[in-house]
Structure 1
Amino acid sequence: MPTTPEPRTPAPDPAPASERRLPGGPVLQDSLTEALSVAFFEELASVGYARLSLEAVAKRAGAGKAAIYRRWPSKLEMTVALISQVAVDAPEITDSGTLRGDVLAFLAETAGALRHRLPSKIIPDLLAESTRNPELAQALFTAVRDTRRVKATGLLERAVGRGELPADVDRELALDFLAGPLYWRLAVVHTPTAPDYLERLTDKLLAAFAA
Structure 2
Amino acid sequence: MGRVVTTPVRRRRGAELERAIRRAVLALVTARGPAGVTMEAVAAHAGTSKPVLYRRWPDRSALLRDTLLHAAGRSIPTPDTGTYRGDLLAVLRGWAATLTSPASAPVVAAIVGAMQQDAELREAFRESVIGWRKAEMARLIRRGVERGELRPDVPVEFARELGQGVLWHRFLITGDPIDDEVVVRIVDEIVMPFVAARPQPRP
Distance 2:142 2:71 in 1: 24
Give the direction of change, closer, same or farther, for the CA distance of 1:68–1:123 in structure 2 (3 Å limit). same
Structure 1 partner of 2:50: 65
Aligned residues: 185
Tell me, what secondary structure is at the counterpart of 1:97?
A: coil
Q: Deviations over 1:157-210 (max 9, x none)?
A: 211111111233211111221311011113432222455221111112112334
Distance 2:163 2:24 in 1: 31
Where does the alignment leave 5 or more consecutive residues of structure 1 unmatched?
1-26
Bigger mean CA offset, 114-123 vs 93-102:
114-123
Distance 1:89 1:128 in 2: 19
Shift of 1:151: 1.9
Larger Rg: 1
Please provide the CA RMSD for this pair: 2.3
Shift of 1:121: 2.1
Structure 2 partner of 1:110: 95
Runs of 4+ in 1 over 6 A off after TM superposition: none
Residue pair 1:104, 1:202 contacting (<8 A) in 2 also: yes
TM-score, scaled to structure 1: 0.77
Structure 1 partner of 2:17: 32
Distance 1:107 1:36 in 2: 30
Distance 1:172 1:114 in 2: 23
Answering whether residue 193 of structure 2 is matched by residue 207 of structure 1, we say: yes
The amino acid of 2:192's aligned partner reads L
Q: Deviations over 1:34-77 (max 9, x none)?
A: 11011111111111113321221111111111222222222232
Structure 2 partner of 1:5: none
Where does the alignment leave 5 or more consecutive residues of structure 2 unmatched?
1-11, 199-203
Q: Deviations over 1:125-150 (max 9, x none)?
A: 33244234322211221122112222
Tell me, what secondary structure is at the counterpart of 1:50?
A: helix
Distance 2:179 2:122 in 1: 33
Bigger mean CA offset, 41-50 vs 75-84:
75-84
Shift of 1:30: 1.6
TM-score, scaled to structure 2: 0.80
Distance 1:209 1:54 in 2: 49
Identity %: 28
Distance 1:138 1:193 in 2: 28
Distance 1:115 1:150 in 2: 24
Structure with greater helix percent: 2
Answering whether residue 104 of structure 2 is matched by residue 119 of structure 1, we say: yes
Residue pair 2:92, 2:183 contacting (<8 A) in 1 also: yes
